[in-house]
């Protein structure tokens, strides 16, 4: 392992983990997150789980070279399966697509009980994840926009309160809280990327002569993003 200090992406995830948490890292791969959290004293023990043997072996090797093997319960598991009775309080699911993260949460009803904090870092389709969380009654507590390997991502934390809510398309794409504040340069870039994607989709529909509800939604989205980036600058 090169360093026990996580990059900005995993650093954002680490910052959401509560002191003294019973922590699990799902899709741990290299186990950078549990190793860092153990070495910094934020948590006492961790579960490091991965569905694939290779990444789990890598996690074991890294933990051994950092001297924290005894404090980690390594599990070959699909998502959160078999972890109902571990008393987990803080669960990270990072570095996967938004749809896969949503499906892992959906297959683990126990995350809806007690005071469980979910720390989620989708690499793609964050909008699908936000829509799932809203529909199922998971409140998004905070979102951080981060840059890693020259790409911009979101990392968020959420908990279940059983009160579903609806999000506009722009809120699904960018997050509710971001659209309410004056953006930082990185947040402008995050919204700017969504603006470019919406413009591209809209241009495709316009050149194909498609005039339907989705075309109208995209038009509204483009002007909302343009207004947001101009007005709040």
Rounded to whole angstroms, how far apart are CA atoms 25 and 146?
Answer: 19
Q: Which residue has the tokens 């949460």?
A: 105
HEC readout, 16-54: CCCCCEEEEEECCCCCHHHHHHHHCCCEEEEEEEECCHH
Instruction: Out of 36, 47, 48, 50, name the contact with ligand SAM by CB under 6 A.
Output: 50
Residues 187-226 that bind ligand SAM (CB under 6 A): none
Q: How many CB atoms lie within 10 A of CB 128?
A: 17
- In the complex, least distance from residue 45 CB atom to ligand SAM, rounded to whole angstroms: 18
Residue among 51 and 220 whose Cβ is closer to ligand SAM:
51
Residue nearest to ligand SAM (CB): 95
Work out how close the CB of 98 gets to ligand SAM at its nearest, in angstroms, rounded to a whole number: 13
Min dist. Cβ of residue 97 to ligand SAM (A): 9
Tokens of 211: 């005039």
Nearer to ligand SAM, 78 or 216 (CB): 78
∠ Cα 15 146 159 (to 5°): 50
Nearer to ligand SAM, 96 or 191 (CB): 96
Burial class from Cβ neighbours inside 10 Å (0-12, 13-18, 19+) for residue 70 reads exposed
User: Interface mask (CB under 6 A) for ligand SAM, residues 21-40, using x and -?
Assistant: -----xxxx-----------
Q: Which is nearer to ligand SAM, 104 or 140 (CB)?
A: 104
Q: Which residue, chain included where needed, has tokens 């509800």?
A: 213
Nearer to ligand SAM, 82 or 204 (CB): 82
**x/- letters, 59..98, toward ligand SAM (CB under 6 A):** -------------------xx--------------xxx--
- Judged by beta carbon, residue 151 or residue 200, the one nearer ligand SAM is 151
Helices (H), the chain: 8-15, 32-39, 53-65, 98-106, 126-136, 169-174, 185-207, 213-231
Does 126 contact ligand SAM by CB under 6 A? no
- Determine the 3-state secondary structure of 103 from DSSP: helix
Are 170 and 130 a contacting pair, CB within 8 Å? no
Torsion sign over Cα 60, 66, 68, 72? negative
| CB 92, min distance to ligand SAM, A | 7
List residues binding ligand SAM (CB under 6 A).
Answer: 10, 26-29, 49-52, 55, 78-79, 94-96, 100, 104
């Amino acid at each position: 392992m090169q360093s026990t200090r996580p990059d900005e992406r995993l650093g954002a995830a680490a910052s959401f983990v509560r002191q003294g948490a019973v922590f699990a890292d799902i899709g741990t791969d290299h186990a950078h997150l549990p190793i860092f959290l153990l070495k910094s004293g934020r948590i006492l023990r961790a579960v490091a789980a991965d569905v694939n043997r290779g990444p789990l072996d890598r996690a074991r090797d890294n933990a051994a070279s950092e001297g924290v093997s005894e404090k980690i319960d390594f599990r070959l598991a699909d998502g959160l399966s078999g972890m109902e009775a571990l008393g987990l309080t803080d669960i990270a699911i990072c570095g996967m697509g938004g749809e896969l993260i949503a499906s892992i949460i959906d297959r683990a009803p126990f995350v809806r009980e007690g005071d469980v904090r979910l720390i989620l870092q989708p690499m793609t389709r964050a909008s699908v994840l936000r829509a799932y969380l809203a529909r199922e009654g998971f409140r998004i507590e905070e979102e951080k926009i981060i840059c890693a390997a020259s790409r911009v991502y979101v990392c968020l934390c959420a908990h279940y309160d059983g009160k579903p809510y609806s999000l506009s398309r722009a809120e699904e794409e960018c997050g509710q809280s971001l659209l309410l504040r004056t953006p930082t340069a990185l947040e402008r870039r995050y919204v700017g990327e969504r603006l470019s994607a919406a413009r591209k989709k809209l241009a495709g529909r316009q050149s194909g002569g498609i005039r339907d509800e989705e075309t109208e939604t995209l038009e509204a989205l483009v002007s909302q993003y343009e207004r947001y980036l101009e007005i709040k600058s």
